[in-house]
Amino acid sequence: MKYEDTAIDFAAVHATHSQLSKDYYVDGAMGEGKAELMQSVSQLANNIATLSSSAMLVTVNISKWQGRAHDKQASAEIAASNNAERGAANVHKKLLPNSDAFKAIIDHAGLMHRIHTRMTMPWADKGARLLPTAQYMKYHGELTMLQTEFYARVDTFIDDYNLSIAEAQVHLGELYDDKDYPSVDELRQKFKCAIAYSPLPESGDFRVDLPKEAIAELQTSYVNYYEEKTKQAMNDIWERLYKVLKNMSERLDYQSKEDKKKFNDTLVSNVTDMVELLRVSNVANSTRMTAMADQLEEALMGVTPDALREDDYFRAETKQAVDKAIANLPSLDI
């Protein structure tokens, strides 16, 4: 997807900054070029502050005991019994294969990551994601609730730990080794769940001992970085919207009950959820994104899953509205 619509005009700012940087090189030190360059830096700070005031960064870090162990002896025996070289096979044991409490922690950690991803936007390549300030209260409420539940599941697992080891001993047979199992205290330390918020920098304030020309280059690089990351964040929302609209259009594409397609009630709620996300995630103040939210809100007013299943005309009318919204999306390269 190529997204162009943004209230923070990075392209214009970048062009101005590049030209002023060239003027600075010509003027040399302490001249008119420096004054203009400093004015340009101030302009950049003001534009970037628009994003900084409407979003923050958030990271969710979850660590847990892996519940697996490499069995060197079993690996060597497998290789030898098959006339293979030593190291050709690896045996990794599931230490608590029948522990529902342990599986519940793993599943919950996955759920927490999915909700974190759904409610935020990409920013850094790994780690921090962009959280719109309009989304903060809802996000913080849901994630702290999930964090509390994570530790509650850890407590349940710890309470059942010794019994689970006894069951594993029967299940693993000669593969069992009590050295694979940490103590209760050691085990508890392996489970961590942290949510950390940090502000977006308001400007490229590089307080380093470098020539002014180098600092000017750093400033330009900083603006390029913000431009790219903002586009990525906005594109992520458009792509999510495209997927739910495309799915809705496909599921509504039938004429009669004889060739009807089955769909869940979430077919409608997935789109209405995206309307809310369009509004809270519009960190670039995109008029196009606001217009799309308005268009979908109007199109889905009074739409229910049951009505879509039972009323052929209503279903066709809704599909037409969805297809119109898809046609109004920014150009997609997916």
> Regarding predicted confidence, which is higher, 334 or 104?
104
Nearest to 277 by CA among 159, 125, 139: 139
Cα–Cα distance for residue pair 208/215, rounded to 1 Å = 8
Question: ∠ CA(274), CA(227), CA(333), 5° rounding?
Answer: 55
Q: What is the rounded distance in angstroms from the CA atom of residue 293 to the CA atom of residue 134? A: 15
Average pLDDT over residues 261-285: 93
pLDDT at 8 over 90: no
C-alpha span between 52 and 56 (Å, rounded): 7
258 has pLDDT over 90: no
pLDDT at 257: 67
190 band by pLDDT with thresholds 50, 70 and 90: very high
As a whole number of Å, the end-to-end CA separation of the chain is: 6
**pTM (predicted TM-score):** 0.75
Which helix (H) or strand (E) is 94 found in, with range? strand 92-94
Q: What is the pLDDT of residue 17?
A: 44
- Write down the pLDDT at residue 19: 46
Query: Does residue 277 surpass a pLDDT of 90?
Result: yes
> What DSSP letter does each residue of 22-75 carry, written as one string?
HHHHHH-TTSHHHHHHHHHHHHHHHHHHHHHTTEEEEEEEEE----EEE-HHHH
Task: Report pLDDT for 255.
Answer: 77
pLDDT of 12 reads 43
As a whole number of angstroms, the distance between CA 111 and CA 113 comes to 5
